[in-house]
A and B are shown apart, each in its own frame.
Chain A
Amino acid sequence: DTAVSQTPKYLVTQMGNDKSIKCEQNLGHDTMYWYKQDSKKFLKIMFSYNNKELIINETVPNRFSPKSPDKAHLNLHINSLELGDSAVYFCASSQISDFSAWTDTQYFGPGTRLTVL
């Protein structure tokens, strides 16, 4: 039983296209996250949602728009893809009771490798 799942696992697309990555967790957690891991393997937080509400929004271009239809899903939509968007994107979830983000163990999805040509 997959705890945090992401689709697709691999995504290859042309510059300028719009694409979405989906994330679902079946752990009953309240909080979900999107991370970006660049070519140097550094992880950076992008967004965090708690019960469908945005609580963390790091300096990310407006082309990136997270959408949380319910607390088990956090999708990432990217408009007008650029070469620099190529990276591995990780979704994660954790169970927290308030807005103090990351006070609990996080469970990561398998990652989505995005390649922009």
Chain B
Amino acid sequence: KNEVEQSPQNLTAQEGEFITINCSYSVGISALHWLQQHPGGGIVSLFMLSSGKKKHGRLIATINIQEKHSSLHITASHPRDSAVYICAPQAAAGNKLTFGGGTRVLVKP
């Protein structure tokens, strides 16, 4: 069993729809990162959070430490949101980052 599980693996949405990506992990963490990888390959760090919720523009990230679960929400999705979204929990012991396999999001106009 992978230490980090993301769901869904692939997601297709119509422009304007609300999108949710889920991330479950098995180790105790000190923080969790969400990354976005563009179709061209570039990677952008979206959020680092250790509790509660963070919001940046149309993106919202939440985390439940007790349930070992985090979600990334995209409101009013747009075709430019099409990318791979990667969850990366940071272990409390040693601070090692482990990366999920990513969720490929396609937003159609």
Contacts and interface: CB of A to CB of B under 8 A. Distances in A.
A106 B97 CA distance: 12
B99 A44 contact: yes
B contact residues, range:
20 to 34
B41 interface: yes
B48 interface: yes
A42 B41 contact: no
Given A41-B84, A45-B96, A103-B30, A108 B101 contact: no
B101 A40 contact: yes
Interface in A35-51: 40-45
B93 to A, nearest CB: 11
B84 A102 contact: no
Contacts of B44: 108
Contacts of B95: 100-103
Q: Is the interface of B mostly helix, strand, loop or mixed?
A: strand
Contact of B97 (A42, A88, A102): A102
Contacts of B35: 108
Contact of A45 (B31, B45, B97): B97
B29 to A, nearest CB: 11
Interface of B: 30-31, 33, 35, 37, 41-45, 48, 84, 86, 88, 90, 95-97, 99, 101-102
Interface of A: 40-45, 56, 88, 90, 92, 100-108, 110-111, 113
Given A41-B84, A108-B43, 13 more contacts: A40-B101, A41-B102, A42-B101, A43-B86, A44-B99, A102-B96, A103-B31, A103-B95, A105-B33, A106-B33, A106-B45, A110-B42, A113-B41
9 residue pairs, one from A and one from B, having the closest CB atoms: A108-B43, A43-B99, A101-B95, A105-B45, A111-B41, A106-B45, A102-B90, A102-B97, A110-B42
